[in-house]
Structure 1
């Protein structure tokens, strides 16, 4: 760590960095930032930077408001969108109490705790997200709703289109920040794009997702458009998910791979999938944390609505992807419910905890879904045991509040805050009189 700190201090001096932003997130997953002068960085490393935690969503209670932000030198990067005018860098922070204990409500610490539990069992947890978002002409909209920047579709090549330049600039910026990008392309909705990050350990991936959102927003401002990670911004168009590939490694060996077994899935992988399925309804209030998230989950367009798994079945909640022969190290499972607006630290914590519980308790894996789940009737789905995911944020909160797994994984403070925050959101939503109601009811009633 001392070498990393020395590297940071030396780079700040050599590159003429004028400001260093310290980043962390609140419980909802909103990025927080405080800028310090280069002269203050060494002190921040040794003592932390004090701030009022009670002013941050869900981070602490008023009577214990003093917190310290400790920059993680391994996350130091110069922000490319700042250019050469007043060069600016950033580091992610771990949050502690004044007596040096990790802050229980720091989302990064919640994930660290869960990763440590996995490490105690000999596992390292890797994730690989496919992040979807919409590009709109503006954040302002009239009666017709938001206006996308184009009318293109899946994998479309749009000569001279905004999305090409946008993706090229975004990918270059991400690479400059040390974030490897695997694919980028136009998605199914007008103005919808997807950029897939290369797999990494879950903590690094969560940091990368937070950086990704900041980059996408900055590039959008630069190009005169507006980027949104809202799960379902356009009626009648696909929502924006964050399909995430998950794998466990034991040392250098993929714990999900077993040659000769069905789909070459090991017992560990099968129990892990069973854990995801068993606990999926309980964790949905975190993987899909907004009222709008359920417009995506229940709006069709390949969003999973039912708890089931399948081999290369895109209608299933958990998909076992095909991979090339001889690529056993690529064995993985894909969780398809999570959306681009989730807090990645909390979402990854719960996905890992659910999978580990399946391994620990040796949950049996139910039969796979071989058919298009959306094409089945309700009766057929019931007969096959494909139960629905929560249909609303209210249902998701009810499922979460009864969950020992979620309470234990998040910790009492985060668990209580998320429940209170989401109940309030749903109550505010329920109290609204929507344009739909006015349009369909006002004149005829």
Structure 2
């Protein structure tokens, strides 16, 4: 209990008044419990009970008692100046009442994949590129889809009128020791990207929860609205989350080998082979909403074809130019609207399947795949990713690897929840249909 004692002392030294205990439901929504000062010691030692039947993908009402236990290493002093008192955030692990880990805790699923590497004294580093829009609010303070600026890629003031918002986001992330590396305007009006320094997979998934919160809170403070929704506006680029990844043993980057064509080791090539072989079945997790597939269409730089390349940004996986320590794979398909614990678990699980089964990837494609016709893609053996949530569900249901990665509980719940979402969408009559068909028929 020495660890618990040291954190209780730390809370006293930092003069903390409130705790925020956070975890995610199965679809990635953040859940939070606020704990007052008088309960700190009890919560640090014992966690806190809550009703799991109210959380999407957790327990049924007849068996709903669950416990959230703070992950002490996730201790983070929050920077929001609007809080009533100094507040510390803990990410939580979720347990059953009998003390066993809850098999539906998304963080637990990622922990299990990471443990496969840590048993071999290896770690996977993850570096995401998070894209988002900043929109104006209306007179009542409600969100619109009117861009906050009319700048383009890498533009700054006066075209990028939300330049100050982005500076404040960087300042806050620096205050959290999240090591932001860059922030810049993206292609579409009002669209931006924030990059933070890589970290191990679990820490990065924990941090993305906070990064998205900081972006949204800061935009609101300046009278704007920020969203990570994959495709909020028709006819412009959508929001993705490119995921850079590499595996290290100590200080050695296991993905690098100088003498090869692309600087990739056999270990990296097999990891890449596993990604490309299994990625179609993971689409339900990497692009988890109906709206995700409005982003994933040809013509807006979002990759929809299963291929890899060195410089070619039309491929699903790219190998960025980098020094030996920085040699990595960049998976360009996911968006951040899903659950990052499950997304990273799927990515790691697919890569390790390639390593364990020595799966070789196909040859790289350095031509612009977007400009190829169907016959050319067929010639190169390039398949397409699912074109809708319905197709993604079907691919997920056919995959024994996805079931192995997520376990029966989350695997079956994901299918149930997403089949309901898809059914609801299919029943919905859109404005496009009314405008298109009402007068004709």
Residue 379 of structure 2 is matched in structure 1 by 383
Shift of 1:360: 0.5
Shift of 1:411: 1.0
Structure 1's 329 and 17: CA in aligned 2 closer, same or farther, altered over 3 A? same
2:271 matched to 1:272? yes
- For residues 306 and 26 of structure 2, the distance between their equivalents in structure 1, rounded to whole angstroms, comes to 26
- Structure 1 window deviating more from structure 2 (392-401 vs 58-67): it is 58-67
Contact 2:151 2:159 (8 Å CA) reproduced: no
Shift of 1:264: 1.2
- For residues 410 and 383 of structure 1, the distance between their equivalents in structure 2, rounded to whole angstroms, comes to 35
Residue 370 of structure 1 is matched in structure 2 by 366
Residue 153 of structure 2 is matched in structure 1 by 154
> Tell me, what secondary structure is at the counterpart of 1:21?
strand
| Aligned pairs for 1:181-260 within 5 A | 181-260=180-259
Q: In structure 1, which of residues 410, 413, 422 is the aligned counterpart of residue 409 of structure 2?
A: 413
Shift of 1:342: 1.9
Contact 1:140 1:146 (8 Å CA) reproduced: no
Shift of 1:118: 2.1
Residue 2 of structure 1 is matched in structure 2 by 2
Residue 111 of structure 1 is matched in structure 2 by 110
Shift of 1:231: 0.2
- For residues 41 and 299 of structure 1, the distance between their equivalents in structure 2, rounded to whole angstroms, comes to 52
Cα deviation 1:124-143 (Å, max 9, x = unaligned): 111000000001113899xx
Residues matched between the structures, number: 438
Shift of 1:299: 4.8
- Structure 1 window deviating more from structure 2 (41-50 vs 181-190): it is 41-50
Residue 429 of structure 1 is matched in structure 2 by 425
Cα deviation 1:52-108 (Å, max 9, x = unaligned): 111101022334311111111111112111357422221110111111111101111
> Tell me, what secondary structure is at the counterpart of 1:82?
coil
Cα deviation 1:114-160 (Å, max 9, x = unaligned): 1111223442111000000001113899xxx7211111110001238
- For residues 386 and 23 of structure 1, the distance between their equivalents in structure 2, rounded to whole angstroms, comes to 41
TM-score, scaled relative to structure 2: 0.96
Contact 1:163 1:186 (8 Å CA) reproduced: no
Residue 395 of structure 2 is matched in structure 1 by 399
Cα deviation 1:209-231 (Å, max 9, x = unaligned): 11111111111221111111100
Residue 354 of structure 2 is matched in structure 1 by 358
| Aligned pairs for 1:46-57 within 5 A | 46-57=45-56
Contact 1:139 1:146 (8 Å CA) reproduced: no
Q: Which runs of 4+ in 1 moved over 4 A?
A: none
Residue 319 of structure 1 is matched in structure 2 by 318
- Structure 1 window deviating more from structure 2 (354-363 vs 169-178): it is 169-178
Structure 1's 399 and 160: CA in aligned 2 closer, same or farther, altered over 3 A? closer
Superposed CA RMSD in Å reads 1.7
Residue 42 of structure 1 is matched in structure 2 by 41
Structure 2 gap ranges (5+): none
Structure 1's 204 and 140: CA in aligned 2 closer, same or farther, altered over 3 A? farther
2:19 matched to 1:20? yes
Shift of 1:15: 3.4
Contact 1:126 1:200 (8 Å CA) reproduced: yes
- For residues 190 and 7 of structure 1, the distance between their equivalents in structure 2, rounded to whole angstroms, comes to 48
2:435 matched to 1:439? yes
2:341 matched to 1:342? no
Shift of 1:6: 3.9
| Aligned pairs for 1:49-198 within 5 A | 49-82=48-81, 85-138=84-137, 146-159=145-158, 161-198=160-197
- For residues 67 and 175 of structure 1, the distance between their equivalents in structure 2, rounded to whole angstroms, comes to 34
Structure 1's 228 and 140: CA in aligned 2 closer, same or farther, altered over 3 A? farther
TM-score, scaled relative to structure 1: 0.95
> Tell me, what secondary structure is at the counterpart of 1:81?
coil
Contact 1:184 1:194 (8 Å CA) reproduced: yes
- For residues 381 and 304 of structure 1, the distance between their equivalents in structure 2, rounded to whole angstroms, comes to 14
- For residues 252 and 32 of structure 2, the distance between their equivalents in structure 1, rounded to whole angstroms, comes to 38
Structure 1's 192 and 17: CA in aligned 2 closer, same or farther, altered over 3 A? same
- For residues 367 and 271 of structure 1, the distance between their equivalents in structure 2, rounded to whole angstroms, comes to 13
Cα deviation 1:326-369 (Å, max 9, x = unaligned): x2111100000000212110000000000000010011110111
